[in-house]
């Protein structure tokens, strides 16, 4: 029963005598060591399976913890490396227990379990964990820069190191430019190693990656049937870096475009493993995102620069236009002075000049806004300023209404209208009195209609004019046509009221 129990044990069992010779071993022990009992009975077990370390150095018997269990009469446990009969090393976990008889140690019972698979699995897990952490760090690093050259060089350097390659390169896919491939970055070799060679083409070796987007891993590229089929070199040109192991991984954008490929080489055969391929493929995926982001950033920078140049050009044109308009208004004013000089129409000249200045003020305000939208309140303030001074905080002026943005055309038209009303108020209306007040109120009436009301208060009693003068026609006909609305003048005894209704300007 004892023998049956030992033979069916999953662990390898050895019984050693006082010379540390094996006098018993179960089937598991024979399978573990590759030896039969008869081969171990005439020599110490240490000399057969424990005499050398993996680095080739000797393992003295006096340092062997298993042997020490015999003379010290003390149980030993631990891990060590054994040598199989065929010469390979393997990791074990052991327990060595001394056997006593009458208080004297007469041998050792050794229990051994092969833990090589456990150690390999743990090392593989640690390696994969390290790889994932490294890839995460690489991803974080790549997303922190938008410089295309830095991204490509960093990716090439890291992938070359992690794949175990002697050298690596990133070739940019220029298939739309004559189907040639441009070297973008190189690692593990100087750029002069490629400078004397023509650009590679979409051959049978390069084509699957650069045109088809497939990974190509070959243990010996020189023995591959796709190698050496194209003139003029039929293989690598003289002086080319030595390549036997070959690995090529495409870099594909989010839109499916093949941006290029990472290519790696080594002079020895079968260097690149499936794990190397997985690592480089993961790096290539992160690189594609970083390159896409860099391209988007470059495109955005170009668009910003183009827009800035366009805006600068528009600003220059607007300044030139403003200069010419002012010169034209000055010319018109000079012609008017010459025309009216010495005549009875001096009053008409002043009116004409005032209207011309009102147009100039409105134009200047529009110019400051670069010919875009102008605020209604600003137009009203600019129109009244020549008559009452600074409008802000002025007790003679009240401006009330929501913010309304006017197009340049509307701003010029309303500026002229407000000037005409202010001129009339200065001559005949509320602004002739120190207590006179002018109110300009505007509100959205709904259904796309804006109502602007000019109200004069605390001035002289208003008497309707016997006939319609030029100012009235300018307001009721000219202004209404310009704004696409209606203008109505009410000569109320308490003060003039002008009601302007127009389409509500669209918000800009």
Task: Report the CATH fold assignment for 373-503.
Answer: Heat Shock Protein 90 (3.30.565)
Query: Could you say which DSSP state residue 37 is in?
Result: H
CATH topology of domain 2-114: Beta-Lactamase (3.30.450)
What span, in angstroms and rounded, lies between the C-alpha atoms of 356 and 243?
84
Give the span between the Cα atoms of 210 and 226, in whole angstroms. 15
Q: Indicate if the alpha-carbon torsion angle 146, 149, 152, 155 is positive or negative.
A: negative
- In this predicted structure, what is the pLDDT of residue 505? 87
Rounded Cα–Cα distance for residues 11 and 27 (Å): 9
Q: Is 381 exposed, middle or buried (0-12, 13-18, 19+ CB in 10 A)?
A: buried
Q: What is the predicted pLDDT for the residue at 508? A: 52
pLDDT of residue 13: 93
pLDDT for res 176:
45
Residue segments in the chain with a per-residue pLDDT below the cut of 70: 71-73, 144, 174-181, 194-202, 231-234, 239, 313-372, 507-508
Q: Could you tell me the pTM of the whole model? A: 0.45
Q: How far apart are CA 389 and CA 375, in angstroms?
A: 19
pLDDT of residue 266: 92
- 121-231+238-292 has the same fold as 2-114: yes
CATH node for 121-231+238-292: 3.30.450.40
* CB-CB neighbours of 254 under 10 Å: 9
Q: Note the pLDDT of residue 499.
A: 95
446 Rama class: left (phi>0) / alpha (psi -120 to 50) / beta:
left
Sequence length of the chain is 508
In this prediction, residue 128 carries a pLDDT of 76
> 323 vs 172, 267, 415, CA distance in Å?
52, 74, 19
pLDDT of residue 30: 93
Domain boundaries, the chain: 2-114, 121-231+238-292, 373-503
Distance between CA atoms of residues 281 and 275, nearest Å: 10
Question: Strands, E, within 102-230: which ranges?
Answer: 104-114, 167-174, 180-187, 216-218
Q: What is the four-CA torsion angle of 117, 120, 122, 128, rounded to 10 degrees?
A: -140
- CA 117 to chain CA centroid, nearest Å: 44
Task: Give the ranges where 50-102 is alpha helix by DSSP (H).
Answer: 65-68
């Amino acid at each position: 029963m004892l023998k049956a129990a030992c033979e069916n044990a999953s662990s390898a069992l050895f019984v050693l005598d006082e010379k540390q010779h094996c006098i018993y071993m179960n089937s598991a022990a024979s399978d573990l060591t590759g030896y039969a009992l008869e081969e171990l009975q005439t020599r110490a077990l240490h000399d057969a399976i424990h005499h050398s370390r993996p680095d080739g150095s000797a393992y003295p018997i006096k340092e062997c913890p298993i042997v020490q269990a015999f003379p010290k009469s003390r149980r030993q446990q631990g891990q060590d490396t054994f040598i199989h009969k065929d010469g390979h090393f393997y990791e074990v976990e052991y327990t060595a227990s001394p056997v006593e008889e009458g208080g004297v140690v007469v041998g050792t019972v050794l229990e051994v379990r092969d833990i090589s698979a456990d150690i390999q699995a743990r090392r593989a897990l640690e390696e994969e964990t390290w790889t994932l952490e490294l890839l995460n760090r690489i991803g974080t690093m790549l997303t922190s820069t938008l410089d295309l050259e830095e991204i490509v060089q960093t990716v090439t350097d890291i992938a070359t190191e992690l794949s175990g390659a002697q050298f690596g390169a990133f070739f940019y896919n220029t298939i739309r430019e004559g189907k040639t491939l441009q070297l973008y970055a190189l690692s593990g070799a100087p750029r002069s190693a490629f400078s004397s060679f023509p650009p590679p083409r979409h051959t049978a070796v390069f084509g699957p990656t650069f045109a088809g987007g497939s990974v190509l891993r070959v243990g010996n590229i020189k023995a591959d049937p796709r190698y050496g089929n194209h003139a003029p070199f039929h293989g690598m040109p003289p002086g080319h870096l030595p390549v036997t192991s070959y690995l090529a991984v495409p870099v594909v954008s989010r839109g499916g475009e093949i941006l290029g490929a990472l290519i790696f080489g080594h002079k020895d055969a079968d260097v690149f493993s499936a794990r190397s391929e997985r690592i480089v493929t993961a790096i290539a995926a992160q690189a594609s995102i970083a390159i896409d982001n860099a391209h988007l950033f470059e495109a955005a920078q170009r668009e910003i620069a183009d827009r800035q140049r366009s805006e600068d050009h528009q600003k220059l044109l607007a300044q030139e236009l403003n200069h010419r308009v002012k010169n034209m208004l000055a010319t018109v004013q000079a012609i008017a002075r010459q025309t009216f000089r010495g005549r009875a129409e001096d009053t008409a000249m002043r009116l004409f000049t005032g209207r011309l200045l009102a147009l100039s003020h409105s134009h200047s305000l529009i110019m400051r806004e670069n010919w875009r939208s102008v605020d209604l309140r600003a137009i009203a303030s600019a129109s009244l300023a020549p008559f009452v001074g600074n409008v802000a905080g002025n007790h003679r002026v009240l401006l009330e209404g929501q913010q309304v943005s006017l197009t340049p055309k509307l701003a010029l038209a309303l500026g002229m209208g407000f000037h005409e009303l202010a001129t009339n108020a200065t001559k005949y209306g509320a602004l002739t009195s120190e207590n006179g007040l002018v109110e300009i109120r505007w509100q959205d009436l709904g259904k796309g209609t804006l109502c602007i009301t000019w109200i004069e208060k605390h001035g002289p009693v208003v008497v309707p004019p016997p006939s319609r003068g030029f100012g009235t026609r300018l307001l009721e006909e000219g202004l209404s046509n310009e704004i696409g609305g209606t203008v109505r003048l009410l000569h109320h005894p308490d003060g003039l009221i002008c009601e302007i209704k127009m389409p509500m300007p669209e918000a800009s």
